[in-house]
Structure 1
Amino acid sequence: MKNRGKVYIALGLLCEVYFIGTIIFGGRVTFAEFYFALGILLITLGLIRSKSKKEYILLRLGKTRSVIKICFFIGLASFVVIEGFIIGSAVSKHKEKSDYLMILGAGLRGEVPSTALYQRLYASLKYIEINPDIKIVVSGGKGSGESITEAEAMKRFLVNHGVAGAQIIKEEKSTDTLENMKFTAEVLKKLDKSKNIKITIVTNNFHVFRAKFLARRQGLKVYGYPAPLHPMLVPTCFVREYLAVINSFLFDR
Protein backbone atom coordinates (compact mmCIF):
# COMPACT_ATOMS: atom_id res chain seq x y z
CA MET A 1 0.00 0.00 0.00
CA LYS A 2 2.71 2.47 0.99
CA ASN A 3 4.86 1.58 -2.03
CA ARG A 4 1.91 2.18 -4.33
CA GLY A 5 1.39 5.54 -2.65
CA LYS A 6 4.99 6.50 -3.42
CA VAL A 7 4.46 5.59 -7.08
CA TYR A 8 1.40 7.86 -7.26
CA ILE A 9 3.30 10.70 -5.62
CA ALA A 10 6.20 10.28 -8.06
CA LEU A 11 3.83 10.28 -11.05
CA GLY A 12 2.06 13.33 -9.64
CA LEU A 13 5.32 15.23 -9.31
CA LEU A 14 6.23 14.22 -12.88
CA CYS A 15 2.92 15.69 -14.09
CA GLU A 16 3.68 18.95 -12.30
CA VAL A 17 7.15 19.12 -13.89
CA TYR A 18 5.58 18.48 -17.30
CA PHE A 19 2.99 21.20 -16.68
CA ILE A 20 5.78 23.70 -15.99
CA GLY A 21 7.56 22.56 -19.17
CA THR A 22 4.49 23.15 -21.32
CA ILE A 23 4.18 26.68 -19.95
CA ILE A 24 7.84 27.38 -20.79
CA PHE A 25 7.85 25.80 -24.27
CA GLY A 26 4.22 25.96 -25.31
CA GLY A 27 3.28 29.56 -24.75
CA ARG A 28 -0.48 29.73 -25.23
CA VAL A 29 -1.04 25.98 -25.56
CA THR A 30 -4.26 25.05 -23.80
CA PHE A 31 -5.10 21.89 -21.82
CA ALA A 32 -1.75 21.90 -19.98
CA GLU A 33 -3.89 22.55 -16.89
CA PHE A 34 -5.09 18.95 -17.19
CA TYR A 35 -1.64 17.72 -16.16
CA PHE A 36 -1.53 20.19 -13.28
CA ALA A 37 -4.86 18.86 -11.99
CA LEU A 38 -3.85 15.25 -12.62
CA GLY A 39 -0.63 15.81 -10.69
CA ILE A 40 -2.53 17.19 -7.69
CA LEU A 41 -4.93 14.23 -7.84
CA LEU A 42 -2.12 11.66 -7.99
CA ILE A 43 -0.19 13.29 -5.18
CA THR A 44 -3.33 13.39 -3.02
CA LEU A 45 -4.12 9.77 -3.85
CA GLY A 46 -0.53 8.82 -3.08
CA LEU A 47 -0.67 10.48 0.34
CA ILE A 48 -3.92 8.66 1.10
CA ARG A 49 -2.53 5.35 -0.12
CA SER A 50 0.52 5.82 2.06
CA LYS A 51 -1.66 5.59 5.16
CA SER A 52 -2.43 2.31 6.79
CA LYS A 53 -5.70 0.46 6.24
CA LYS A 54 -6.85 1.55 9.69
CA GLU A 55 -6.36 5.21 8.73
CA TYR A 56 -8.11 4.93 5.38
CA ILE A 57 -10.63 2.40 4.08
CA LEU A 58 -10.99 2.06 0.32
CA LEU A 59 -14.37 1.73 -1.34
CA ARG A 60 -15.27 -1.96 -1.16
CA LEU A 61 -18.73 -2.17 -2.71
CA GLY A 62 -18.40 -4.91 -5.31
CA LYS A 63 -21.02 -3.67 -7.80
CA THR A 64 -19.76 -0.10 -7.67
CA ARG A 65 -16.20 -1.22 -8.27
CA SER A 66 -17.34 -3.39 -11.20
CA VAL A 67 -19.15 -0.45 -12.83
CA ILE A 68 -16.08 1.74 -12.36
CA LYS A 69 -13.87 -0.92 -13.95
CA ILE A 70 -16.21 -1.34 -16.93
CA CYS A 71 -16.33 2.44 -17.51
CA PHE A 72 -12.56 2.62 -17.21
CA PHE A 73 -11.94 -0.10 -19.80
CA ILE A 74 -14.52 1.35 -22.20
CA GLY A 75 -12.81 4.73 -21.90
CA LEU A 76 -9.40 3.15 -22.34
CA ALA A 77 -10.51 1.25 -25.44
CA SER A 78 -11.96 4.42 -27.00
CA PHE A 79 -8.76 6.30 -26.20
CA VAL A 80 -6.58 3.66 -27.86
CA VAL A 81 -8.75 3.50 -31.01
CA ILE A 82 -9.10 7.27 -31.47
CA GLU A 83 -5.45 7.94 -30.70
CA GLY A 84 -4.59 5.29 -33.30
CA PHE A 85 -6.46 7.31 -35.94
CA ILE A 86 -4.88 10.56 -34.73
CA ILE A 87 -1.36 9.11 -34.84
CA GLY A 88 -1.97 7.48 -38.22
CA SER A 89 -2.89 10.83 -39.75
CA ALA A 90 -0.04 12.53 -37.90
CA VAL A 91 2.63 10.47 -39.66
CA SER A 92 1.11 10.22 -43.15
CA LYS A 93 2.19 12.88 -45.67
CA HIS A 94 0.38 13.41 -48.96
CA LYS A 95 2.96 14.92 -51.30
CA GLU A 96 1.04 14.55 -54.56
CA LYS A 97 -0.63 17.60 -56.04
CA SER A 98 -4.21 18.37 -55.05
CA ASP A 99 -6.46 21.07 -56.44
CA TYR A 100 -5.71 23.30 -53.45
CA LEU A 101 -3.36 23.49 -50.49
CA MET A 102 -5.11 24.66 -47.34
CA ILE A 103 -3.14 26.09 -44.41
CA LEU A 104 -4.96 26.39 -41.09
CA GLY A 105 -4.33 29.37 -38.81
CA ALA A 106 -2.93 28.88 -35.32
CA GLY A 107 -2.82 32.23 -33.56
CA LEU A 108 -0.81 35.43 -33.75
CA ARG A 109 0.88 37.72 -31.25
CA GLY A 110 -0.07 41.03 -32.80
CA GLU A 111 1.08 40.38 -36.36
CA VAL A 112 3.64 37.68 -35.50
CA PRO A 113 2.69 34.02 -36.09
CA SER A 114 2.74 31.69 -33.11
CA THR A 115 5.27 28.85 -32.98
CA ALA A 116 2.59 26.40 -34.13
CA LEU A 117 1.69 28.61 -37.09
CA TYR A 118 5.33 29.00 -38.09
CA GLN A 119 5.62 25.21 -38.09
CA ARG A 120 2.62 24.98 -40.40
CA LEU A 121 3.96 27.67 -42.71
CA TYR A 122 7.41 26.11 -43.05
CA ALA A 123 5.81 22.72 -43.73
CA SER A 124 3.69 24.41 -46.40
CA LEU A 125 6.81 25.75 -48.10
CA LYS A 126 8.07 22.18 -48.43
CA TYR A 127 4.83 21.10 -50.07
CA ILE A 128 4.86 24.15 -52.35
CA GLU A 129 8.44 23.32 -53.35
CA ILE A 130 7.19 19.92 -54.53
CA ASN A 131 4.07 21.40 -56.19
CA PRO A 132 5.11 24.98 -57.10
CA ASP A 133 1.97 26.00 -59.02
CA ILE A 134 -0.52 24.83 -56.39
CA LYS A 135 -3.37 27.17 -55.47
CA ILE A 136 -3.23 28.01 -51.76
CA VAL A 137 -6.00 28.79 -49.27
CA VAL A 138 -4.91 30.47 -46.04
CA SER A 139 -7.69 30.11 -43.49
CA GLY A 140 -8.02 32.07 -40.26
CA GLY A 141 -9.78 35.13 -38.91
CA LYS A 142 -8.79 37.72 -36.34
CA GLY A 143 -8.84 36.70 -32.69
CA SER A 144 -8.06 38.24 -29.34
CA GLY A 145 -4.61 39.84 -29.24
CA GLU A 146 -4.29 39.75 -33.02
CA SER A 147 -3.94 42.99 -34.97
CA ILE A 148 -4.50 41.40 -38.40
CA THR A 149 -6.22 38.23 -39.56
CA GLU A 150 -4.29 34.98 -39.46
CA ALA A 151 -4.95 34.61 -43.19
CA GLU A 152 -3.27 37.96 -43.89
CA ALA A 153 -0.28 37.03 -41.72
CA MET A 154 0.09 33.73 -43.56
CA LYS A 155 -0.13 35.41 -46.95
CA ARG A 156 2.57 37.91 -45.97
CA PHE A 157 4.84 35.08 -44.82
CA LEU A 158 4.38 33.09 -48.01
CA VAL A 159 4.90 36.10 -50.28
CA ASN A 160 8.06 36.99 -48.33
CA HIS A 161 9.30 33.46 -49.02
CA GLY A 162 8.81 33.68 -52.76
CA VAL A 163 5.23 32.48 -53.25
CA ALA A 164 3.27 34.48 -55.83
CA GLY A 165 0.44 36.47 -54.28
CA ALA A 166 -1.84 35.43 -57.15
CA GLN A 167 -1.64 31.82 -55.94
CA ILE A 168 -3.07 32.69 -52.52
CA ILE A 169 -6.76 32.80 -51.56
CA LYS A 170 -7.67 34.26 -48.18
CA GLU A 171 -10.47 33.03 -45.92
CA GLU A 172 -10.63 35.55 -43.08
CA LYS A 173 -13.77 34.77 -41.06
CA SER A 174 -13.04 31.49 -39.28
CA THR A 175 -12.20 31.22 -35.58
CA ASP A 176 -12.01 27.42 -35.14
CA THR A 177 -11.45 24.24 -37.14
CA LEU A 178 -15.09 23.73 -38.04
CA GLU A 179 -15.37 27.28 -39.37
CA ASN A 180 -12.07 26.82 -41.26
CA MET A 181 -13.73 24.02 -43.18
CA LYS A 182 -17.18 25.57 -43.60
CA PHE A 183 -15.99 28.93 -44.83
CA THR A 184 -13.22 27.50 -47.00
CA ALA A 185 -15.67 25.09 -48.63
CA GLU A 186 -17.96 28.04 -49.37
CA VAL A 187 -15.09 29.98 -50.96
CA LEU A 188 -13.90 27.05 -53.05
CA LYS A 189 -17.34 26.06 -54.26
CA LYS A 190 -17.82 29.60 -55.59
CA LEU A 191 -14.46 29.50 -57.38
CA ASP A 192 -14.45 25.88 -58.51
CA LYS A 193 -17.44 24.04 -59.96
CA SER A 194 -15.79 20.62 -59.71
CA LYS A 195 -17.82 18.02 -57.81
CA ASN A 196 -14.86 16.49 -56.02
CA ILE A 197 -12.54 19.31 -54.99
CA LYS A 198 -9.30 17.82 -53.68
CA ILE A 199 -7.45 19.68 -50.94
CA THR A 200 -4.33 18.95 -48.94
CA ILE A 201 -4.49 20.36 -45.43
CA VAL A 202 -1.42 21.59 -43.59
CA THR A 203 -1.74 21.70 -39.82
CA ASN A 204 0.23 20.37 -36.86
CA ASN A 205 0.46 16.59 -36.76
CA PHE A 206 -1.94 15.96 -33.85
CA HIS A 207 -4.64 18.06 -35.58
CA VAL A 208 -4.66 16.42 -39.04
CA PHE A 209 -7.18 13.65 -38.35
CA ARG A 210 -9.89 15.96 -36.99
CA ALA A 211 -9.28 18.56 -39.68
CA LYS A 212 -9.68 15.89 -42.37
CA PHE A 213 -12.96 14.46 -41.14
CA LEU A 214 -14.45 17.93 -40.65
CA ALA A 215 -13.43 18.80 -44.22
CA ARG A 216 -15.10 15.63 -45.49
CA ARG A 217 -18.32 16.71 -43.77
CA GLN A 218 -18.21 19.81 -45.98
CA GLY A 219 -18.04 17.68 -49.13
CA LEU A 220 -14.31 18.03 -49.80
CA LYS A 221 -11.95 15.26 -50.83
CA VAL A 222 -9.12 15.74 -48.39
CA TYR A 223 -5.53 14.71 -47.68
CA GLY A 224 -3.12 15.71 -44.95
CA TYR A 225 0.39 17.15 -44.83
CA PRO A 226 1.34 17.29 -41.12
CA ALA A 227 3.63 19.91 -39.66
CA PRO A 228 5.85 18.97 -36.69
CA LEU A 229 5.14 19.74 -33.05
CA HIS A 230 7.54 20.64 -30.23
CA PRO A 231 8.26 17.33 -28.38
CA MET A 232 7.38 18.93 -25.04
CA LEU A 233 3.83 19.52 -26.30
CA VAL A 234 3.14 16.03 -27.62
CA PRO A 235 1.40 14.62 -24.49
CA THR A 236 -0.72 17.73 -24.00
CA CYS A 237 -1.83 18.12 -27.61
CA PHE A 238 -2.47 14.45 -28.37
CA VAL A 239 -4.49 13.84 -25.19
CA ARG A 240 -6.47 17.04 -25.70
CA GLU A 241 -7.13 16.06 -29.31
CA TYR A 242 -8.78 12.79 -28.17
CA LEU A 243 -11.42 14.87 -26.38
CA ALA A 244 -11.65 17.34 -29.28
CA VAL A 245 -12.30 14.50 -31.76
CA ILE A 246 -15.18 13.18 -29.64
CA ASN A 247 -16.64 16.68 -29.30
CA SER A 248 -16.32 17.38 -33.04
CA PHE A 249 -17.77 14.00 -33.99
CA LEU A 250 -20.87 14.64 -31.88
CA PHE A 251 -21.43 18.38 -32.30
CA ASP A 252 -19.48 19.88 -35.25
CA ARG A 253 -21.68 19.74 -38.34
Structure 2
Amino acid sequence: MLRLNSKSGIILRKKKKWSWLKAFFYIFVFLFLVIESFIVKGFFEKGSKDLDYIIILGAKVNKTTPSLSLQYRIEEAGNYLMENEGTVAILSGGQGDDEEISEAQCMYEQLTDMGIMAERLIMENKSTSTSENIKYSSKWIENKNCSIGIVTNNFHIFRAVGIAKKLGYKKAEGIAAKSVWWMQPKNMIRECLAIIKDVVVGNL
Protein backbone atom coordinates (compact mmCIF):
# COMPACT_ATOMS: atom_id res chain seq x y z
CA MET A 1 0.00 0.00 0.00
CA LEU A 2 2.86 2.36 0.89
CA ARG A 3 4.60 1.50 -2.37
CA LEU A 4 1.39 2.26 -4.32
CA ASN A 5 0.96 5.62 -2.59
CA SER A 6 4.60 6.45 -3.29
CA LYS A 7 4.19 5.69 -7.01
CA SER A 8 0.97 7.72 -7.15
CA GLY A 9 2.77 10.68 -5.55
CA ILE A 10 5.59 10.51 -8.10
CA ILE A 11 3.09 10.39 -10.98
CA LEU A 12 1.18 13.38 -9.58
CA ARG A 13 4.39 15.38 -9.19
CA LYS A 14 5.40 14.57 -12.78
CA LYS A 15 1.99 15.60 -14.07
CA LYS A 16 2.20 18.85 -12.10
CA LYS A 17 5.67 19.54 -13.51
CA TRP A 18 4.48 18.96 -17.08
CA SER A 19 1.45 21.17 -16.47
CA TRP A 20 3.73 24.04 -15.43
CA LEU A 21 6.00 23.48 -18.43
CA LYS A 22 3.02 23.45 -20.80
CA ALA A 23 1.63 26.62 -19.23
CA PHE A 24 5.02 28.33 -19.57
CA PHE A 25 5.27 27.21 -23.21
CA TYR A 26 1.81 28.55 -24.07
CA ILE A 27 2.53 31.87 -22.34
CA PHE A 28 5.82 32.17 -24.25
CA VAL A 29 4.14 31.42 -27.59
CA PHE A 30 1.38 33.95 -26.86
CA LEU A 31 3.92 36.62 -25.87
CA PHE A 32 6.02 35.85 -28.96
CA LEU A 33 3.01 36.24 -31.27
CA VAL A 34 1.94 39.52 -29.63
CA ILE A 35 5.44 40.99 -29.98
CA GLU A 36 5.73 39.78 -33.57
CA SER A 37 2.41 41.48 -34.41
CA PHE A 38 3.82 44.80 -33.18
CA ILE A 39 7.00 44.22 -35.20
CA VAL A 40 4.99 43.52 -38.37
CA LYS A 41 2.92 46.67 -37.82
CA GLY A 42 6.14 48.68 -38.11
CA PHE A 43 6.73 47.34 -41.64
CA PHE A 44 4.22 49.83 -43.05
CA GLU A 45 5.51 53.05 -41.44
CA LYS A 46 6.84 55.58 -43.96
CA GLY A 47 6.93 58.77 -41.87
CA SER A 48 5.06 62.04 -42.21
CA LYS A 49 6.07 64.69 -44.71
CA ASP A 50 8.52 67.46 -43.76
CA LEU A 51 9.88 65.97 -40.54
CA ASP A 52 12.42 68.18 -38.78
CA TYR A 53 15.01 65.39 -38.63
CA ILE A 54 15.51 61.82 -39.67
CA ILE A 55 17.95 59.57 -37.85
CA ILE A 56 19.41 56.84 -40.05
CA LEU A 57 20.54 53.92 -37.91
CA GLY A 58 23.84 52.35 -38.87
CA ALA A 59 24.43 48.72 -39.82
CA LYS A 60 27.34 46.58 -40.94
CA VAL A 61 29.91 48.06 -43.33
CA ASN A 62 32.06 45.62 -45.33
CA LYS A 63 35.36 47.51 -45.26
CA THR A 64 34.05 50.65 -47.01
CA THR A 65 30.93 49.23 -48.68
CA PRO A 66 27.51 49.16 -47.00
CA SER A 67 25.99 45.78 -46.26
CA LEU A 68 22.71 45.08 -48.03
CA SER A 69 20.77 45.98 -44.86
CA LEU A 70 22.54 49.34 -44.61
CA GLN A 71 22.16 49.95 -48.36
CA TYR A 72 18.39 49.56 -48.04
CA ARG A 73 18.36 52.09 -45.18
CA ILE A 74 20.44 54.56 -47.19
CA GLU A 75 18.16 54.24 -50.24
CA GLU A 76 15.02 54.77 -48.15
CA ALA A 77 16.56 57.80 -46.43
CA GLY A 78 17.77 59.22 -49.74
CA ASN A 79 14.31 58.96 -51.26
CA TYR A 80 12.76 60.66 -48.22
CA LEU A 81 15.33 63.49 -48.27
CA MET A 82 14.78 64.14 -51.98
CA GLU A 83 11.03 64.41 -51.41
CA ASN A 84 11.33 66.53 -48.23
CA GLU A 85 13.98 69.16 -48.85
CA GLY A 86 13.69 70.85 -45.46
CA THR A 87 14.54 67.73 -43.46
CA VAL A 88 17.99 67.29 -41.90
CA ALA A 89 19.48 63.80 -41.58
CA ILE A 90 21.59 62.51 -38.70
CA LEU A 91 23.72 59.57 -39.82
CA SER A 92 24.28 57.46 -36.74
CA GLY A 93 26.78 54.62 -36.52
CA GLY A 94 30.26 54.01 -35.16
CA GLN A 95 33.13 51.97 -36.56
CA GLY A 96 33.58 48.26 -35.86
CA ASP A 97 36.95 46.53 -35.64
CA ASP A 98 36.55 45.06 -39.13
CA GLU A 99 35.21 48.25 -40.72
CA GLU A 100 37.63 50.62 -42.47
CA ILE A 101 35.30 53.61 -42.09
CA SER A 102 32.49 54.40 -39.68
CA GLU A 103 28.92 53.52 -40.59
CA ALA A 104 28.13 57.26 -40.47
CA GLN A 105 30.89 58.01 -42.99
CA CYS A 106 29.68 55.25 -45.28
CA MET A 107 26.14 56.67 -45.21
CA TYR A 108 27.47 60.18 -45.85
CA GLU A 109 29.39 59.08 -48.95
CA GLN A 110 26.45 57.14 -50.36
CA LEU A 111 23.93 59.93 -49.76
CA THR A 112 26.13 62.65 -51.26
CA ASP A 113 26.61 60.39 -54.30
CA MET A 114 22.80 60.32 -54.56
CA GLY A 115 22.82 64.12 -54.76
CA ILE A 116 21.88 64.99 -51.17
CA MET A 117 23.54 68.24 -50.09
CA ALA A 118 26.28 67.78 -47.49
CA GLU A 119 24.82 70.68 -45.46
CA ARG A 120 21.79 68.52 -44.67
CA LEU A 121 23.85 65.62 -43.30
CA ILE A 122 25.18 65.35 -39.75
CA MET A 123 27.50 62.49 -38.79
CA GLU A 124 27.29 60.79 -35.37
CA ASN A 125 30.09 58.22 -35.37
CA LYS A 126 30.36 56.96 -31.78
CA SER A 127 27.26 54.80 -31.27
CA THR A 128 27.36 51.00 -31.19
CA SER A 129 23.73 50.08 -30.42
CA THR A 130 20.19 51.18 -31.24
CA SER A 131 19.75 53.02 -27.95
CA GLU A 132 23.11 54.80 -28.41
CA ASN A 133 22.18 55.73 -32.00
CA ILE A 134 19.18 57.67 -30.77
CA LYS A 135 20.69 58.95 -27.52
CA TYR A 136 23.88 60.30 -29.14
CA SER A 137 21.95 61.83 -32.04
CA SER A 138 20.01 64.02 -29.61
CA LYS A 139 23.05 66.30 -29.37
CA TRP A 140 22.00 67.91 -32.68
CA ILE A 141 18.26 68.07 -32.06
CA GLU A 142 17.14 71.38 -30.53
CA ASN A 143 14.40 69.95 -28.34
CA LYS A 144 12.37 66.81 -27.91
CA ASN A 145 9.27 68.38 -29.45
CA CYS A 146 10.95 68.27 -32.86
CA SER A 147 9.45 65.74 -35.26
CA ILE A 148 11.85 62.92 -36.07
CA GLY A 149 11.78 59.86 -38.29
CA ILE A 150 13.81 56.76 -37.49
CA VAL A 151 15.10 55.11 -40.67
CA THR A 152 15.91 51.42 -40.31
CA ASN A 153 14.92 48.04 -41.73
CA ASN A 154 11.26 47.13 -41.32
CA PHE A 155 11.72 44.49 -38.59
CA HIS A 156 13.63 47.03 -36.47
CA ILE A 157 11.12 49.91 -36.60
CA PHE A 158 8.94 49.03 -33.61
CA ARG A 159 11.87 48.77 -31.18
CA ALA A 160 13.75 51.79 -32.53
CA VAL A 161 10.71 54.09 -32.35
CA GLY A 162 9.88 52.71 -28.89
CA ILE A 163 13.37 53.57 -27.65
CA ALA A 164 13.08 57.10 -29.09
CA LYS A 165 9.77 57.64 -27.31
CA LYS A 166 11.22 56.28 -24.07
CA LEU A 167 14.00 58.87 -24.41
CA GLY A 168 11.36 61.62 -24.58
CA TYR A 169 10.84 62.18 -28.31
CA LYS A 170 7.08 62.68 -28.43
CA LYS A 171 6.94 63.02 -32.22
CA ALA A 172 9.04 60.00 -33.21
CA GLU A 173 7.93 57.99 -36.24
CA GLY A 174 9.29 55.10 -38.24
CA ILE A 175 10.48 55.14 -41.84
CA ALA A 176 10.75 51.49 -42.79
CA ALA A 177 13.30 50.29 -45.31
CA LYS A 178 12.99 46.82 -46.77
CA SER A 179 15.01 43.93 -45.36
CA VAL A 180 17.12 41.14 -46.80
CA TRP A 181 14.34 38.59 -47.38
CA TRP A 182 16.36 35.44 -46.72
CA MET A 183 17.48 36.81 -43.34
CA GLN A 184 14.00 37.88 -42.26
CA PRO A 185 13.00 34.75 -40.23
CA LYS A 186 16.20 35.00 -38.17
CA ASN A 187 15.85 38.78 -37.82
CA MET A 188 12.26 38.47 -36.59
CA ILE A 189 13.21 35.98 -33.87
CA ARG A 190 16.26 37.98 -32.79
CA GLU A 191 14.26 41.20 -32.72
CA CYS A 192 11.63 39.64 -30.47
CA LEU A 193 14.35 38.65 -27.99
CA ALA A 194 15.95 42.12 -28.27
CA ILE A 195 12.61 43.75 -27.42
CA ILE A 196 12.25 41.58 -24.31
CA LYS A 197 15.81 42.48 -23.29
CA ASP A 198 15.22 46.22 -23.82
CA VAL A 199 12.05 46.07 -21.73
CA VAL A 200 13.98 44.34 -18.93
CA VAL A 201 16.87 46.85 -18.94
CA GLY A 202 14.54 49.86 -19.22
CA ASN A 203 15.21 50.98 -22.80
CA LEU A 204 11.55 50.42 -23.70
TM-score normalised by structure 2 residue count: 0.89
Give the secondary structure class of the aligned counterpart of 2:99. Answer: coil
One-letter code aligned to 1:103: I
Alignment size in residue pairs: 190
Give the secondary structure class of the aligned counterpart of 2:90. Answer: strand
1:210-242 C-alpha deviation (Å, 9 max, x unpaired):
100111122112100111012211111011100
The answer to whether structure 1 residue 232 and structure 2 residue 179 are counterparts is no
Q: Spell out the pairing of 1:107-122 with structure 2 (5 A cutoff).
A: 107-122=60-75
From 177, 196, 202, the counterpart of 1:246 = 196
* Matched-pair contact (CA < 8 Å) for 2:54–2:151: yes
One-letter code aligned to 1:207: H
Runs of 4+ in 1 over 4 A off after TM superposition: none
1:166-188 C-alpha deviation (Å, 9 max, x unpaired):
00111111001011011012332
Q: Which runs of 5+ in 2 are unaligned?
A: 1-12
From 89, 102, 109, the counterpart of 1:156 = 109
1:45-75 C-alpha deviation (Å, 9 max, x unpaired):
xxxxxxxxxxxxxxx9211110011001110
From 25, 32, 37, the counterpart of 1:79 = 32
* Matched-pair contact (CA < 8 Å) for 1:113–1:153: yes
- RMSD (CA atoms): 1.4
Q: Spell out the pairing of 1:16-165 with structure 2 (5 A cutoff).
A: 61-165=14-118
Q: Which runs of 5+ in 1 are unaligned?
A: 1-59
In the alignment, what sits opposite 1:206? 155
1:109-134 C-alpha deviation (Å, 9 max, x unpaired):
11111110001011112212221231
Residues 79 and 152 (structure 1 numbering): CA distance in 2 closer, same or farther, change over 3 Å? same
Give the secondary structure class of the aligned counterpart of 2:98. Answer: coil
Q: Identity of paired residues, percent?
A: 36
Give the secondary structure class of the aligned counterpart of 2:100. Answer: coil
1:75-125 C-alpha deviation (Å, 9 max, x unpaired):
011111111111101222224221101111001111111110001011112
